[in-house]
Chains A and B, each alone.
Chain A
Amino acid sequence: MNLNISILGKFILKSQSIAGVGYQQVRNKWANWLMIRDVKRRRLSAENFLERTRVNALRKNDILPVEIREIADKQINQFEWNATPMRINNRCVITSRPRGIVKEWRMSRIVWRHLADYNKLSGVQRAMWG
């Protein structure tokens, strides 16, 4: 049984490397599928940012006629959901932890503490006073 599987594995999928299919462990450079989603959202937000702000500006004013504003309202909902910057989640860059992020370093507190202890963070020192 095991021999058969290994033999099969050699013949299958030399051409396309589809993640998850085949007998190989899937590897990405991101820690988490959630992280991958976050990356995708950031990318799409950046691509659609200009268009969205302009349409939003048409919406958020009381000078233009109402009709224009209504049209703009409808238009902004036609963008993809992932183009919304509100969906971006500031996760830890290394561990993909959603909570307990030290914003300036984009890391979770645990990783931050680890690196600070090993003197990898510039200007970070153990606090003591008094």
Chain B
Amino acid sequence: MLTRLKFRKDLRVIARCLSDKSKDNDGKPQVIQDAKKKTVKNDPATEKIQELLKSMMAPPKISEAEYREKFATSPDTRRSKQADEIEVKTEKIEESITKAASDVAQAIGGDVKQTEAELLSRVLGKINQTSTTLSDLLVGMKVDRTIEPDEVQKKPDTREQQVKRLVSKAKTTEASPTRYSQRKSAYVPNDRTRQGRDSNRSGTPQITEIDIFGGEPLGIFKTTEPNYGTKLDVWENLKKRELSLATAQPPANYFQKMILWTNQGKVWKFPIDNEQGLEEEQKIHFSEHIFLDTHLEDWCPKKGPIRHFMELVCVGLSKNPFYTAQEKKEHIMWYKDYFVTKKDLLTEVGAWDLPNSNKEASV
């Protein structure tokens, strides 16, 4: 340790000896003598200057206002006046604001000091900002649209090119940098300017960031309108199905298997409901199940065997708890179709008199 310190000291000494300061040591007294001579020579001049300066610094014998009154001075420029006025005005405004803030804070109650501080920071912060904002500066500026010859060739790298470049770089660096690979990377078929390419290639390739949602919308379409956007229901359902099929794993345990079967409808749901699968039937009123004569109104004759038969059918259906109302209607309609096809035969027999026509004598 000690040897090191000594060494450093020695170094310093050596450095000093070697440096130009040794010469200055010799020349210092000369310089000082010169300086002294100079000061002796310029003494009256400097003294005068110094006296003048002192007189300037000293407070004036006449005040400015008196001077202006007595002697003719240049007229006051607007700027100086405005600056003063502005300052005064801002001071006044600030005072009034502080007063107002304190009043408001007290009126509100609660944490008076905190509210006051918040209010003041919000309001005064705005005043303390300069009036000239960036937008003001930019208004006057014009965009330089002259195309320089260099930059014509240099187009900004597209994402595709960037990626390709990165990939090729990775390839060349990972493998041994053979001459062939270097040559390949260096060689570019249509390279007009070297400048552009070199500037493009930087140590860290910068990817141009594009913000899609940064700009302002045009406002053509509004979300509140009824026909906003298109809905493709089938496609959406298919997408959902595809997603569920892609993500579906075979069941890991018995519980999952039972869940799957329940969803598929192979297994009853708990608590057991005999009308599982007939939820829509619950909404239909019972009168539609019982009063089925309405379906007979149009086509069925008022009297005769067919009417008798159909009424029996309706009674039977009304007592049937298993058919849905739609199925019952279809049942009756089937009979209607059947009898309509057999109309000729029935009229021949005399069983089918039309609702409007008179009664025929039976055979």
Contacts and interface: CB of A to CB of B under 8 A. Distances in A.
Contacts of B305: 63-65
Given A54-B334, A54-B335, A71-B342, A63 B309 contact: yes
A57 B349 CA distance: 20
A77 interface: no
B152 to A, nearest CB: 63
A63 B349 contact: no
Interface string B342-355: 10011001010000
B296 interface: no
Interface in A39-64: 50, 54, 57-58, 61, 63-64
A61 B349 contact: no
How many A residues are at the interface, by size bracket? 10 to 19
Nearest to B351: A65
Interface in A55-87: 57-58, 61, 63-65, 67-68, 71
A108 to B, nearest CB: 24
A54 B331 contact: yes
Contacts of A71: 342, 345
B342 A68 contact: yes
A65 B312 contact: no
Interface of A is mostly: helix
Interface string B40-67: 0000000000000000000000000000
Contacts of B334: 54
How many B residues are at the interface, by size bracket? 10 to 19
Contacts of A50: 331
A71 B345 CA distance: 11
B345 A67 contact: yes
B351 A57 contact: no
Contacts, number: 28
A68 B345 CA distance: 9
B349 to A, nearest CB: 5
B308 interface: yes
Nearest to B313: A57
B306 interface: yes
Nearest to A71: B342
B345 A63 contact: no
Contacts of A65: 305, 346, 349, 351
Contacts of B306: 64
A68 B8 CA distance: 132
B164 to A, nearest CB: 44
Nearest to B349: A65
Nearest to B327: A50
B349 A67 contact: yes
B222 to A, nearest CB: 53
A19 B26 CA distance: 120
B309 A61 contact: yes
Given A54-B331, A54-B334, A64 B309 contact: yes
Contacts of B342: 68, 71
A71 B349 CA distance: 14
A9 B31 CA distance: 117
A21 B306 CA distance: 56
Interface in B314-356: 331, 334-335, 338, 342, 345-346, 349, 351
Contacts of A58: 338
Nearest to A51: B334
Contacts of B335: 54
A83 B98 CA distance: 98
B233 to A, nearest CB: 31
A58 B342 CA distance: 13
Contacts of A68: 342, 345-346
Contacts of A54: 331, 334-335, 338
Given A61-B309, A65-B351, A67-B349, 14 more contacts: A50-B331, A54-B334, A54-B335, A54-B338, A61-B312, A63-B305, A63-B308, A64-B305, A64-B306, A64-B309, A65-B346, A68-B342, A71-B342, A71-B345
Interface of B: 305-306, 308-309, 312-313, 331, 334-335, 338, 342, 345-346, 349, 351
14 contacts: A54-B331, A54-B335, A57-B313, A61-B309, A63-B309, A63-B312, A64-B306, A64-B309, A64-B351, A65-B346, A65-B349, A67-B345, A68-B345, A68-B346
Interface of A: 50, 54, 57-58, 61, 63-65, 67-68, 71
